[in-house]
Amino acid sequence: MDEKQIEQWLKDGIITKEQAQKMLADTSQYKKEQSSNKLIVAISTIGTILLGIGVILFIASNWMRFSNIFKVVILLGATFGSYYVGYICRYQKQNLPKAGASLIFLGALLFGATVFLVAQMYHINANSHTLMLIWLIGIVPLVYTLKTTPIAALATFLFYIWAALFVFRNFSFQEACGDFFYLPVLYLVVGVLAFGIGALHYLSDDLKAVARTYRISGIKIGMLALFLLTFRFFSGHYDNFNIRAGAMPSRQFITGLIIFSILALIFIIIDRILNPSKSKTSILECYISLGLLTVALVFFFFPSTTNIYPLLFNLILAGIIFTLIFIGYQREDIRLVNIGMSYLVVLVVVRYFDFFWDLLPRAMFFMIGGAILIIGGIAIEKKRRELKKQFGA
């Protein structure tokens, strides 16, 4: 609700003048509280980051002076101390919920620092996927007990890093060089997997925030992977140079990709049968996930010497963009609309450079491109605000 809407209700006789004044005062107070909350969150987050950096730098600068036992005690004390104070502030006394949430998040970060610094004591390879898995497993209980979005977002971030480390485990850079060019395929599959895992969390009403975090992260990582695959550098050949011709995937990478693909397929089937979100568009989401998984595997196992795959991925990305906007409109979800519109702008700009860089004079190229960006940006922002207001109402 905003001032214009209240004024329109007053003009139409739906509310009285006294009611309008009361509603305007409440709206103004609500906006002030929201602004204050955002400021508190920003300050708390910055403070949390600075405090975490300070603790880590203090330990690192005095690393050689401390015994191993003392190091472990300091690290664990800082970690569980952050958890305890954050819990007291947010849940027990509930007097500083924002600061408490930031301290809990700091504890999750310090736990990761503890894992890696203890591993350094015993000369364990810092690139080991096991360390990242331990960090992930260590914060998973927080995700399901506290059900906070920041911790869930950190868990998904760690999961994506672990997935890459898992397929590259025990590899030197030279051995893994060829596999790096297949990372977009891996993350397209992992994004589908994360989306399926998130959908299953809708079976519990208490985990809706966690479910949405997982699903949005899956959409974002999948969209990024799709975008990279629209380039000939990753999916075709460029000036008679085909990166996939000389960069064969390792058996270890293939095994990891198959494992993640099987898991993604299992979650797609479960989501299709159960429809945890009880959404009308759930079937469409399952079919899209299955389609993306199929295309990723076909591209990986059946390479082509032509540029058919870049064309295919461009069409798929365009289709996913409009599907996101459509589903976002159907569900009145401005987040999905924003993701779709953002990638629509990026795709148009990139393809404009691809098609017209060599065809137009430079002055004409930049003038036309600038005009398209200005007009398109104004139109998209105007439409986004209209949808946001419509969804909010």
Q: What is residue 312's three-state secondary structure? A: helix
Residue 388: inside a domain: no
24 within a domain of the structure (yes/no): yes
Chain segment 347-389, per-residue pLDDT in tens: 888 877 776 656 666 566 556 666 666 666 666 666 666 666 6
276 occurs within a structural domain: no
Q: Which of 15-29, 115-129, 286-300, 336-350 has the highest mean pLDDT?
A: 286-300
Q: pLDDT digits over 124-145, tens only?
A: 666 678 888 999 999 999 899 8
pLDDT mean over 260-278: 91
Q: In the prediction, which pLDDT does 163 show?
A: 92
At 174-202, the pLDDT tens digits run: 566 667 888 899 999 999 999 999 999 99
Lowest mean pLDDT across 59-73, 107-121, 130-144: 59-73
At residue 155, the pLDDT reads: 93
CA atoms within 13 A on the CB side of 174: 0
Out of 78-82, 218-222, 246-250, 318-322, which region has the weakest mean confidence (pLDDT)?
Answer: 246-250
* Residue 366 within any structural domain of the chain: no
Alpha-carbon separation of residue 80 from 51, 71, 105, 292 (angstroms): 14, 14, 11, 42
290 pLDDT tier (thresholds 50, 70, 90) = very high
pLDDT confidence bin for 69, thresholds 50/70/90: confident
Q: Is residue 211 part of a domain?
A: no
Which domain, by its residues, includes 81? 1-124
Give the mean model confidence (pLDDT) for residues 284-297: 94
**Any domain includes 304:** no
**Domain total in the chain:** 1
Residue 144 lies in a domain: no
Residue 320 has pLDDT above 90, yes or no: yes
CA 7 to CA 85: how far, in whole Å? 46
User: Quick check: is 209 in a domain?
Assistant: no
Which tops the pLDDT comparison, 355 or 254? 254
Rounded CA separation 244/145 (Å): 45
Q: What is the DSSP letter of 148?
A: -
pLDDT > 90 fraction of the chain, expressed in percent and rounded = 26
What predicted TM-score, i.e. pTM, was given to this entire model?
Answer: 0.78
